[in-house]
Amino acid sequence: MEDLLTGRVHKFGDDINTDYIIAGKYTKTLDFTTLAEHVFEDIAPGFAQRVTPGDIIAAGSNFGCGSSRDQAPIAIKYAGIGAILAKSYSRIFFRNAINQGIPAFLCDTDALQEGDRVIIRLEENRIELPDRGEFLPLTPLSPVMLDILREGGLVEYLKKNGTYVLEG
Amino acid sequence: MGKTAAEKIVSAHVQGDVKAGDYVVADVDLAMIHDTTGPIAIRAFEEYGKEKVWDPSKMVIVLDHATPSPNERISGLHTLLRQFASSQGIRLFDGGEGVCHQLVAEKGLVVPGDLAVGADSHTCTYGALNVFSFGIGSTDMSGVMLTGKLWLRVPSTMKVDFHGAPPPGTYAKDLMLHLIGRIGSAGADYLALSFGGDTVRAMSISERMTLSNMAIECGAKVGLMEADEKTLAYLKGTGGRTPRPVWDDDDAEFASAMEIDVTSLPPQVSCPHSVDAVVPVTEVEGTEISQVYIGTCTNGRLDDLRIAAGILEGRKISPHCRLLVCPPSRKVLMDALAEGLIFKIVEAGGTILPPGCGPCPGTHQGIPGDGERVISTANRNFKGRMGNNKAEIYLASPATCAASALEGKIADPRKFISGAP
Ligand code: SF4
């Protein structure tokens, strides 16, 4: 994962559950591109077609609540989303997104609007809104999540380390 | 300073002394995958290039979400899971055996004091058996399959004590819906829920499982309960390992504590499309319903079917709606057959589905039509949950669902229960 990510914002509200991200009826497959075709279908029809690779989801609180399905972050990843910003995540989804190597960060997304250009500056723990000259702070990830993300996801992390390595 | 049950169980699985907030790598006693989440976990596991999972005797695979298979694509996934199970020597429950969570409890695959994970969010169900159990994603599960371990942050505990006897017509489901309505769908996010009080102590294991099952609906990681003589009696004869029960110390540090008096709590209904949109049944009484579903890991067990059959007995369901009933395991089905409950349900106009998840995940059976309203004993009513985003789902107890089937409208079950207020 790179320290600098740039993309346009797609705005979502609070409590976006995993059924809304990818409906249960589509989850029984190992063909991940079909998951991407149906991402957010029930609440934002046509979303997949509107995504330019690298775009950013900016959601409210409790993003990804509901089921434990990895198909949810996988659908988001295969749709071309480059990062997720949210006020808070549901616990399981947060892990799953990082495990898929999707940069998922915590920040106050209220100020972000649909279509905003955003630069995530991970090294500086903040995001930049270049068109407005504004910055928003990011809440740092826990060290283990950051390590997994830096390897590109859990599979790569475990291939490298063989097991979990916690600092301290 | 004392410890919470969550801190004690995690401590025992890291061979150390942990407190809430610590990041740890814990040993796993049981890992469960099913036909929706298993294939991705296996795919990811195969990338590690290791032949065998860490310990096949600590894994279980259940085919339940789409069984019998509705199409060749899902049949292929079932085949993949069967082949993996046999090549690894992992125990597999094939279609028709039942819902994963019901089977794990019924077969004694977990015992008090265990740390269990499942690639399914309702793995928190075994909290009712004093098990620190929670759902993880498929990729996290691949890591468990490789290492037998998982990293986690030890959760703080929110204590919820229920007091008093619920009035006739009010059940465990109503208590849990009420709690979720009160604290909201993220009300216990990142926390361990610890259920107690005289109401919980008086409950059967099945009723307790209804509470713990829905812990995730308010964001909790686990929904723990104390192991008592009922827990030990339930697990006796399942051939499970030796229980290691633990409980919260009185002087442990809790994130918060809540007392709920249930003595005058009316039946509750969760309204579309959010589990925490909870109202007393009287507020939505009369809402027309096209389909009623009684089943799932939440609320389809023998006592649930008894309650439903008691209301349906000698009556007929409304010609304007369908009643689908799915026992969550072969054992529940057989017990219900032996007690004559199935006869009563079918005679009233109900349709019995093979043990499994049934219509709950919206994959293969009982998918509602456009604009239809469903009332269900399940745990989730998100838009599209049952396979159609143009349908609406209400959640309620088996009693409220059975009463609603009779009227073709959301009905107050107390009308059909003697002694109810
Ligand atoms: S019955 Fe429903 S909630 Fe329970 S495991 Fe199956 S799909 Fe999930």
Cβ-based neighbour number of residue A143 at 10 Å? 13
* CATH assignment of the domain containing B387: 3.30.499.10
For residue A109, what pLDDT is reported?
Answer: 97
Domain-embedded: residue B421: no
* CATH assignment of the domain containing A109: 3.20.19.10
Residue with the two structure tokens 């469903």: B374
The residues, ordered by sequence, that sit 6+ positions from B159 with a Cβ below 8 Å of its Cβ are B194, B196, B248, B254, B256, B257, B258
User: pLDDT band for position A1 (50/70/90)?
Assistant: low
Assess whether pLDDT exceeds 90 at residue B378.
yes
User: Is B119 touching A (CB cutoff 8 A)?
Assistant: yes
* Higher per-residue confidence, B384 vs B180: B180
Domain-embedded: residue B103: yes
Domain-embedded: residue B343: yes
Regarding whether B229 and B280 lie in a shared domain, the answer is no
Q: Compute the distance between CA of residue A18 and CA of residue A16 in angstroms, rounded to an integer.
A: 7
Question: Are the C-beta atoms of residues B132 and B215 closer than 8 Å to each other?
Answer: no
Provide the 8-state DSSP code for A87.
S
Count of pairs with CB atoms under 8 A, one residue in A, one in B: 145
Assess whether pLDDT exceeds 90 at residue B116.
yes
Q: Compute the distance between CA of residue B340 and CA of residue B182 in angstroms, rounded to an integer.
A: 38
Interface of B with A in 353-382 (CB under 8 A): 361-363, 380, 382
pLDDT digits (tens, 9 = 90+) for B194-212: 999 999 999 999 999 999 9
Structure tokens at B201: 């102590």
Q: Which residue in B266, B293, B280 sits closest to B358, CA to CA?
A: B293
Provide the 8-state DSSP code for B97.
S
Domain-embedded: residue B197: yes
Q: Which residue in B192, B133, B199 sits closest to B172, CA to CA?
A: B199
Q: Looking at ligand 1, which atom is closest to the CA of residue B121?
A: 8
Report CA dihedral (A80, A82, A88, A91) to the nearest 10 degrees: 70
Regarding whether B42 and B112 lie in a shared domain, the answer is yes
Regarding whether B170 and B76 lie in a shared domain, the answer is yes
Assess whether pLDDT exceeds 90 at residue B15.
no
For residue B324, what pLDDT is reported?
Answer: 98
Domain that residue B412 falls in: 269-416
Regarding whether B294 and B228 lie in a shared domain, the answer is no
Q: How far is CA B412 from the centre of its chain?
A: 24
- Region B362-369 average pLDDT: 94
pLDDT digits (tens, 9 = 90+) for A99-122: 999 999 999 999 999 999 999 999
Assess whether pLDDT exceeds 70 at residue B325.
yes
- Region A53-77 average pLDDT: 95
User: pLDDT band for position B320 (50/70/90)?
Assistant: very high
Our count of domains for chain A comes to: 1
Structure tokens at A30: 């190992």
Report CA dihedral (B340, B401, B120, B128) to the nearest 10 degrees: -70
ipTM of this model?
A: 0.94
Regarding whether B274 and B256 lie in a shared domain, the answer is no
Ligand 1 binding pocket mutation candidate from B103, B122, B134 (most atoms within 8 A of CB): B122
User: pLDDT band for position B102 (50/70/90)?
Assistant: very high
pLDDT digits (tens, 9 = 90+) for A117-168: 999 999 999 999 999 999 999 999 999 999 999 999 999 999 999 999 987 5
Our count of domains for chain B comes to: 2
Pick the residue of A67, A77, A87, A94 with the most B CBs within 10 A to test the interface with B by mutation.
A67
Regarding whether B184 and B315 lie in a shared domain, the answer is no
Domain that residue A60 falls in: 4-139
Contacts of A29 in chain B (CB under 8 A): 73, 77
Domain-embedded: residue A155: no
Contacts of B66 in chain A (CB under 8 A): 28
Q: Which residue of B has its CA nearest to A163?
A: B147
Regarding whether B279 and B224 lie in a shared domain, the answer is no
Provide the 8-state DSSP code for B9.
H
Domain-embedded: residue B334: yes
* Beta sheet of A126-129, edge-to-edge order: A104-106, A83-86, A56-59, A4-11, A117-121, A126-129, A134-137
Which domain-ending residue is among B208, B225, B260?
B260
Structure tokens at A107: 């920040």
Regarding whether B206 and B285 lie in a shared domain, the answer is no
User: Is B343 touching A (CB cutoff 8 A)?
Assistant: no
Regarding whether B347 and B223 lie in a shared domain, the answer is no
Q: How many angstroms separate the CA of residue A131 from the nearest CA in chain B?
A: 34
Question: Are the C-beta atoms of residues B292 and B374 closer than 8 Å to each other?
Answer: yes
Residue with the two structure tokens 């740039």: A6
Task: Quote the mean pLDDT of chain B.
Answer: 97
pLDDT digits (tens, 9 = 90+) for B43-95: 999 999 999 999 999 999 999 999 999 999 999 999 999 999 999 999 999 99
Regarding whether B313 and B185 lie in a shared domain, the answer is no
Q: Compute the distance between CA of residue B345 and CA of residue B367 in angstroms, rounded to an integer.
A: 20
For residue A168, what pLDDT is reported?
Answer: 53
Regarding whether B294 and B178 lie in a shared domain, the answer is no
Domain-embedded: residue A68: yes
Domain-embedded: residue A153: no
Domain-embedded: residue B243: no
User: Is B138 touching A (CB cutoff 8 A)?
Assistant: yes
pTM of the model: 0.96
Residues forming beta bridges with residue A121, ordered by sequence position: A4, A126
Residue with the two structure tokens 């002694």: B419
Domain-embedded: residue B119: yes
Domain-embedded: residue A158: no
Task: Output the ligand 1 site: residues, CB below 6 A.
Answer: B 65, 99-101, 120, 122, 296-297, 357, 360-361, 378-379
Domain-embedded: residue B96: yes
Q: Compute the distance between CA of residue A70 and CA of residue A18 in angstroms, rounded to an integer.
A: 9
Question: Does the beta-carbon distance from B382 to A66 stay under 8 Å?
Answer: yes
User: pLDDT band for position B240 (50/70/90)?
Assistant: confident
Assess whether pLDDT exceeds 90 at residue B239.
no
- Region B245-251 average pLDDT: 97
